[in-house]
Amino acid sequence: METQEQLKSLYEKELKPQLTDMEKMRKFVKKWRALAIASLILAILFCFSDYTLLQIIGGIGFFVGAIYAGVKALGTYNKYHKQFKSEVVRKVIHLINPAYKYNSAKHIEVYDYNKAAIFKRKAERCLGDDLVFGKIDKTPFKFSEVKTQYKTTSTNDNGKTVTQWHDIFRGLFFFAEFNKNIDGQTFVFPEKDRKMVNLFGKEKDESKHHGELVKLENPEFEKTFSVYGTSQQEARYILTPVMMEAIVNIHKRYGYKMYFSFKGENVFCAIPFNRNLFEPNIKRSGINFADVEEMYMLFSLIETIIHEMNLNTRIWTKD
């Protein structure tokens, strides 16, 4: 993995000049988006005024102006967004490893998300972007930003069917080939996760969906995580002292809430975020090393997981 100094060098020599050039587009989008919103508000206000001919003409004029400003803002934003992904995000990923593949428009498929079975509710669709995939030594991996959803249908007062989509998970989702064969399934969840325990610290019925609670002999690990599985023996086979120490180290280093699933031939990891990642921020200047540094850190997290969990060590059960 490249050093912090190399990231700073990349930023100063390549990314900062590009972000400076792109700043004109960001300001253009911000200005025209503000004009579109202001025009739309004025158009609505005119609609609630007395319906004189002058006010009707004024309302129509502001509405047309809102559409015009919105189209100009959207067209430039699409160009700005595409350039940001291509010239900034891609270069940060390739700094970590030039062999990694990156597709800004694709994401983890709903099938792979559901295969992890981390959350009880199955997803019916998966949205997202910024798919990164490749190999770290011998270990194939994929990850992306995702938002998964399920749908409900109901009938309204007019007899029409109404479909609503509900969020299940939003954040980074990652999976890699595991270095041991797994017959059952083992889950590692944040301790005191509200979905698993009630106010008195007792396990909810929902936790039974993931199997039995597994007790391990690592007090520090058990303060941070709870383990559920279909087999106590297999869970201990997977979560060796070295593996538990690695997961604790990852949590200490990054501080994120992390959900792990060991199932089939893979280890899966879900890291919740309540905001978009790897996206340009229109509201403030894009010339900011801290934004690039966070991006680098999030992408590097996947390498950290694979190396810390020693997934590249192939024992006799794996090639």
Is residue 132 a contact partner of residue 102, using CB atoms and an 8 Å limit?
yes
Alpha-carbon distances, residue 274 vs 121, 146, 171, 240, 295 (angstroms): 19, 11, 7, 32, 16
Residue type for position 290: A
User: Residue 96 is encoded by which pair of tokens?
Assistant: 């970590």
Conformation bin of residue 261: beta by default, left when phi > 0, alpha when psi is -120 to 50: beta
Residue 203 pairs in a beta bridge with 197
Question: How would you write the pLDDT of the chain (319 residues) with one tens digit per residue?
Answer: 447 788 999 999 999 999 999 999 999 999 999 999 998 888 888 777 666 777 777 778 888 888 999 999 999 999 999 999 999 999 999 998 899 999 999 999 999 999 999 998 999 999 999 999 998 888 899 999 999 999 998 888 787 888 899 999 999 999 998 877 788 899 999 976 645 544 444 454 445 678 888 888 888 898 899 999 998 999 988 888 888 888 898 888 888 899 999 988 899 999 999 988 899 989 888 898 999 998 999 888 888 888 888 776 654 345 5
Query: From the CB of residue 28, how many other CB atoms can be counted at a distance below 10 Å?
Result: 17
Nearest residue to 131 via CA among 97, 90, 178: 90
Tokens of 22: 């792109």
Q: What span, in angstroms and rounded, lies between the C-alpha atoms of 192 and 188?
A: 12
* Contact between 260 and 187 (Cβ < 8 Å): yes
The residue count of the chain comes to 319
